[in-house]
C-alpha cells in the first residue's frame, strides 16, 4: 500500500510560532503601556488636580480671614470667583451661576475646564482649572515618554527576535532535511558535521549526530529485513514444496494402507498450513508494503478456495463446512493477503468445532465466519488477538495462538475491520469488514 502523506493541517512552522509569540509580546507590552499612561492621566485629573483645587481653596480661605479683600487666585492655570462678588472681584461667568458644591467638568468659552465649587463664610467660591493644561501635562509627561519607551521596547524585541531566529535556524534546517528523507533510503550523509550550517552548534549538533546514527542503524535494519525476507522466501518454501510433492507421489502409490494414507494426509495438511504461516510472516515482516501486487479481484473465489483447503482439517468430525454467498465482494488488494486472513479464520473455526457447522458468509463489504465450536468467555475474548494466547478450552488441540494475531495485524495494515463475538459452548462469530470494497 502507498504510504500516507504526512498530515500538515495542524503543523505550524517553528519560525512562524516564534514570530507570532514576539508579535503578541509587542502588542501586549504596547497595550499595557498605553493603558498605564491613560491610567496616569485619569489619576492626574481625578486625584492630583482635585487635591490641588481643594488645597488652593483652603489656602485662600486662610487669606480671607486675615484680609477680607484678598485677591482671588488668578494664575496661568487657575482662576477664582466669588458669589456674590465683592467690588474688587471679576463678575461670575454665566456658565458657573447656580452651580452646586463639588467637582465637575464645565464647557467654558469653547473649551472644557475643571471646576471646584465650595461654600465659605464669605460666599460661594469657584475655582476654575484649565483642562488644556492637563492634556499638555499628559502629553509631555505621558505620551512623549511613552513613544520613547515603545520605540526602545520594539527595538529590543526586534533584536531579540533576530537572535532567536538565528538560534532556531539550524533546528528548522534539520527539520526540513529530515522531513524530506525517504523512509526507505534516508540520506543520512546530509547530517554529517561538514554539511551542517555554520551556526549549528551545541544541542543541534548533538541532535544531528544522533539522528544520523539512527538513520544509519535504520538503514542497516531495513537491509537485514530485506535479506531475511528474500532468503526465508526461498529457503523455507523449497523444503515445503518438496514435502508436498513427496506426499502427492506417495498418495498415488497402489496398496497404501489406510494408516499410512491418513498420516500422509496429515503431513500434507501440515505442510499447507506451514506454507500459509510462512507467507503470513513474510508479509508482516516487510516494513512498508507486502511485496505482493495489488489488483482488483473477486473475493468470493478466494473464499471458496480457502474453504476447500480447510475441509481436510475436519478429518472425520461431524462438522458441515459451507459457504453462503449473498453478494459479489470485489476488493483492491493483494489476493494472497486476503486469502491468508480468511484462511486463518476458517481454519481456526474448523479447529475448535467438534460437531455442528462452520458457516462462511460473503456479503456486501463483509466476510463472516461463524461456528458452533467451544466458544470463549468475555475475558478470553478481550485477549484473543494477543500473540500466543490460547483459550483454556483449547488444550489438546494443535496450534500456536498466532493465527488471529496475524489476522489482526494484516487487517490493520490494509484498513480492514475485524471484530469477534463468542459465547462458551455455543460458538464464535468473526466479522471482517471492508470499508474500501469496490462497488459494481
Nearest-10 crossing angle of helices 335-351, 258-285: 130
Claim: this prediction has a pTM higher than 0.85: no
Asked if pLDDT for residue 361 goes beyond 90, the answer is yes
Secondary structure of residue 299 in the 3-state scheme: helix
Asked if pLDDT for residue 258 goes beyond 70, the answer is yes
Q: Rank 143-157, 204-218, 291-305 by mean pLDDT and report only the highest.
A: 291-305
Cell of residue 356, nine digits: 455442528
Mean of the pLDDT values across residues 287-313?
Answer: 81
Mean of the pLDDT values across residues 381-409?
Answer: 70
Q: Rank 259-263, 279-283, 355-359 by mean pLDDT and report only the highest.
A: 355-359
Confidence of residue 362 (pLDDT cuts 50, 70, 90): very high
Asked if pLDDT for residue 2 goes beyond 70, the answer is no
Q: 432, 368 in Cβ contact below 8 A?
A: yes
Mean pLDDT of the chain: 78
Asked if pLDDT for residue 359 goes beyond 90, the answer is yes
Asked if pLDDT for residue 289 goes beyond 60, the answer is no
Report which of 120, 77, 85, 121 is spatially closest to residue 101, judged by C-alpha positions. 120
Q: Give the torsion sign (CA, 182, 6, 205, 224).
A: negative
For the segment 52-109, what is each residue's pLDDT rounded down to a tens digit?
Answer: 888 888 888 888 888 888 888 888 778 888 888 888 888 888 888 888 888 888 887 7
Distance, in Å, from the CA atom of 325 to the CA atom of 303, rounded to the nearest integer, reads 10
Amino acid at each position: 500500500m502507498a504510504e500516507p502523506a504526512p498530515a500538515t493541517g495542524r503543523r505550524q512552522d517553528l519560525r512562524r510560532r516564534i514570530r507570532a509569540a514576539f508579535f503578541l509580546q509587542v502588542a501586549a507590552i504596547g497595550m499595557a503601556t498605553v493603558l498605564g499612561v491613560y491610567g496616569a492621566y485619569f489619576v492626574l485629573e481625578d486625584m492630583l488636580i482635585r487635591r490641588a483645587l481643594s488645597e488652593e481653596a483652603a489656602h485662600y480661605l486662610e487669606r480671607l480671614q486675615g484680609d477680607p479683600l484678598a485677591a482671588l487666585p488668578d494664575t496661568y492655570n487657575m482662576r477664582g470667583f466669588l458669589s456674590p462678588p465683592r467690588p474688587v472681584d471679576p463678575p461670575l461667568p454665566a456658565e458657573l451661576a447656580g452651580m452646586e458644591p463639588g467637582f465637575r467638568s464645565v464647557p467654558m468659552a469653547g473649551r472644557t475646564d475643571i471646576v471646584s465649587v465650595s461654600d465659605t463664610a464669605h460666599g460661594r467660591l469657584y475655582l476654575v482649572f484649565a483642562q488644556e493644561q492637563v492634556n499638555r501635562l499628559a502629553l509631555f509627561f505621558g505620551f512623549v515618554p511613552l513613544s520613547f519607551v515603545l520605540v526602545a521596547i520594539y527595538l529590543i524585541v526586534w533584536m531579540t527576535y533576530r537572535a532567536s531566529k538565528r538560534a532556531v535556524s539550524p533546528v528548522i534546517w534539520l527539520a526540513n532535511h529530515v522531513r524530506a528523507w525517504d523512509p526507505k533510503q534516508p540520506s543520512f550523509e546530509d547530517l554529517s558535521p561538514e554539511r551542517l550550517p555554520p551556526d549549528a552548534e551545541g544541542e543541534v549538533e548533538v541532535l544531528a549526530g544522533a539522528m544520523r546514527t539512527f538513520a544509519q542503524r535504520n538503514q542497516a535494519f531495513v537491509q537485514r529485513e530485506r535479506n531475511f525476507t528474500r532468503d526465508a522466501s526461498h529457503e523455507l518454501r523449497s523444503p515445503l514444496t518438496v514435502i508436498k510433492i513427496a506426499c502427492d507421489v506417495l498418495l498415488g502409490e497402489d496398496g497404501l494402507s489406510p494408516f499410512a494414507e491418513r498420516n500422509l494426509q496429515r503431513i500434507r495438511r501440515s505442510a499447507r498450513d506451514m506454507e500459509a504461516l510462512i507467507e503470513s510472516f513474510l508479509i508482516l515482516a516487510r516494513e512498508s508494503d507486502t511485496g505482493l501486487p495489488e489488483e482488483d479481484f473477486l473475493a468470493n473465489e478466494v473464499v471458496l478456495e480457502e474453504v476447500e483447503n480447510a475441509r481436510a482439517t475436519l478429518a472425520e468430525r461431524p462438522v458441515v463446512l459451507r459457504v453462503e454467498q449473498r453478494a459479489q465482494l470485489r476488493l483492491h488488494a493483494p489476493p494472497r493477503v486476503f486469502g491468508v486472513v480468511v484462511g486463518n479464520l476458517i481454519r481456526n473455526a474448523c479447529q475448535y468445532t467438534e460437531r455442528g457447522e462452520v458457516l462462511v458468509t460473503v456479503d456486501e463489504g463483509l466476510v463472516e465466519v461463524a461456528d458452533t465450536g467451544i466458544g470463549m468467555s468475555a475475558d478470553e475474548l478481550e485477549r484473543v488477538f494477543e500473540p500466543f494466547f490460547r483459550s483454556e478450552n483449547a488444550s489438546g488441540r494443535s496450534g500456536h495462538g498466532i493465527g488471529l494475531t496475524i489476522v489482526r495485524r494484516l487487517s490493520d495494515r490494509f484498513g480492514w475491520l475485524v471484530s469477534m463475538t463468542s459465547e462458551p459452548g455455543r460458538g464464535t462469530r468473526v466479522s471482517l469488514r471492508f470499508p474500501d470494497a469496490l462497488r459494481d
